[in-house]
Chain A
């Protein structure tokens, strides 16, 4: 009797033990979100433009790639995204060796857009917002992640005029490298798709004429208004520093220019209006004073 009862107790204990062992796994670290691969490939393309350039080609590109120049200026308004990401990922520096932990999971970032009056102390409730889901793996912030911009209001600088932009788009972001905790956010590459935007700028029609290429423009009471919807086209922008934004241009898309070379170039725009043109084996800096003179800068 006693022996039978003891066996029964032992079996019960073992059963409970098995459940306890299973329960140890009840705290399992969340998996990081899958990183978008396309933006990683695009980042490599940014690092390695393929077109071969000489001075005349660079000057021709500078002179005639005005539509890209304008697009670049518009998209440069998205540079606030870098500040959002930097603010969200700002953490005290951590000694990884001392930490001795592998941290993984995700960070969901939600922030309001700057609005059309970014220096105002009163937040614009209709400024829209940006959202990102950032992966963390092996105690490092993953370099590539995805997000979106929704009804987002920001200011772009077009030919010295403040353009009010309201845009929605899907974004993929590449930070250039995985970041350790406490690392400063470096260069970021933004790849936008499903872009729809409305722009308005107090700009004279004469100046606007020709700036926008295939974009539809119409007169509005306070200037020009543009509607842009490019569901089938991907736009990209690299914020390379405080005063430099870059975009990759495939010369096949500029076939009408007949520049005599193929491949990709990197167009860089500085705050002072200087335009950089970089190819496979040379980089050129072109003035913004109306001349098309480019000087080699690499």
Chain B
């Protein structure tokens, strides 16, 4: 009974607390910036487990994908990433934005933890997003985002005394996805969300490679078609909690998982978890 009372009290707190000087999401001008057309306010900083961003102006936000910088132990090189997000300057009920990002790993030597010392791997990812967000009223917002992603990779392995085999090549793939985000604000702290993603199309996976073994060289120009069959989509109901500076998004849905930052869906239908945590100040 005591636990039940505590739970009720906690929920009541969540639904009713109104922090002063709040920078929380659920106020006009402080909306979440992922899957929407919104940007940070000038000089506002957002630090989270997924991304770090800074508002250069009310219309321009720059940011980076945080986890990629911590991939260093795996690939022996930093994976640089960054993005620019530019939104319209009208600040009306309808917002529009364009976000261009890049993640780049130079073709450095991959750590011996994943391969031998003669293997070199590099890649570049370029996601471009067009977003529209409409604040229908003070409680409800609807966002639409179209994202196009180019993923290119290159790799090589030199011949050595152990294996008479030399491999090198590059690959590339593109995809176009539509993401929808509905936000229903129940209070200044709590909003329920519904996020849907659907793959509109994908290019073929291209592989251009060269293999040399025992004096025989093979140049391959190959492409993989039908990367995805049928409808590729997911739907994730969730909840967004926003206090003075702390923001938490959690949700769980079903469908296809879109790989973070790469923007490419995997081909398995599964339970799709969604979580984010960030601080804005």
B206 on interface, CB distance cutoff 8 Å: yes
Q: In the complex, which of the residues B92, B173, B215, B227 contacts A2, with contact meaning CB atoms closer than 8 Å?
A: B92
CB-nearest residue of chain A relative to B172?
A27
A110 on interface, CB distance cutoff 8 Å: yes
Q: Are A29 and B204 closer than 8 Å at their CB atoms? A: yes
The stretch of B1-9, B109-117, B182-190, B218-226 that contacts the partner chain: B218-226
Q: How far is the CB of A113 from chain B (nearest CB, A)?
A: 10
With A103-B224, A104-B225 as contacts: A25 and B216 at CB distance below 8 Å: no
Q: How far is the CB of A15 from chain B (nearest CB, A)?
A: 11
Residue pairs across A and B with CB atoms within 8 Å: the count is 119
With A16-B130, A20-B130, A24-B203 as contacts: A29 and B218 at CB distance below 8 Å: no
Q: Are A28 and B204 closer than 8 Å at their CB atoms? A: yes
**Separation of A12 and B128 alpha carbons in the complex (Å):** 15
With A6-B92, A84-B216, A107-B219 as contacts: A27 and B201 at CB distance below 8 Å: no
Q: How far is the CB of A273 from chain B (nearest CB, A)?
A: 30
**Separation of A102 and B204 alpha carbons in the complex (Å):** 10
Query: Contacts of A30 on B, CB cut-off 8 Å?
Result: 206, 221-223
**Separation of A123 and B176 alpha carbons in the complex (Å):** 50
Q: How far is the CB of A40 from chain B (nearest CB, A)?
A: 23
Query: Contacts of A6 on B, CB cut-off 8 Å?
Result: 88, 90, 92, 94
Q: Name the prevailing secondary structure of the B interface residues.
A: strand
Within 8 A of B (CB), among A1-42: 2, 5-6, 9-10, 13, 16-17, 20-21, 23-30
B240 on interface, CB distance cutoff 8 Å: no
Query: Contacts of A122 on B, CB cut-off 8 Å?
Result: none
**Separation of A267 and B246 alpha carbons in the complex (Å):** 84
CB-nearest residue of chain A relative to B94?
A6
A48 on interface, CB distance cutoff 8 Å: no
As a 0/1 sequence over residues 103 to 137 of chain A, the CB contacts with chain B under 8 angstroms (1 = contact) are: 11111111110000000000100000000000010
Q: Are B267 and A100 closer than 8 Å at their CB atoms? A: yes
Within 8 A of A (CB), among B178-228: 200-207, 213-227
A219 on interface, CB distance cutoff 8 Å: no
**Separation of A123 and B155 alpha carbons in the complex (Å):** 29
B235 on interface, CB distance cutoff 8 Å: no
Within 8 A of B (CB), among A56-88: 84, 87-88
With A2-B90, A2-B92, A23-B174 as contacts: A29 and B219 at CB distance below 8 Å: no
Enumerate 8 A-B pairs (CB-CB under 8 Å) in ascending A order.
A2-B92, A6-B88, A6-B92, A20-B176, A23-B148, A27-B204, A30-B222, A106-B221
Q: Interface residues, chain B, CB within 8 Å of chain A?
A: 88, 90, 92, 94, 96, 98, 128, 130, 132, 146, 148, 150, 172-176, 200-207, 213-227, 229, 267
Q: Interface residues, chain A, CB within 8 Å of chain B?
A: 2, 5-6, 9-10, 13, 16-17, 20-21, 23-30, 84, 87-88, 90, 100-112, 123, 136
* Nearest 5 Cβ contacts at the A-B interface: A29-B223, A27-B203, A105-B222, A29-B204, A111-B216
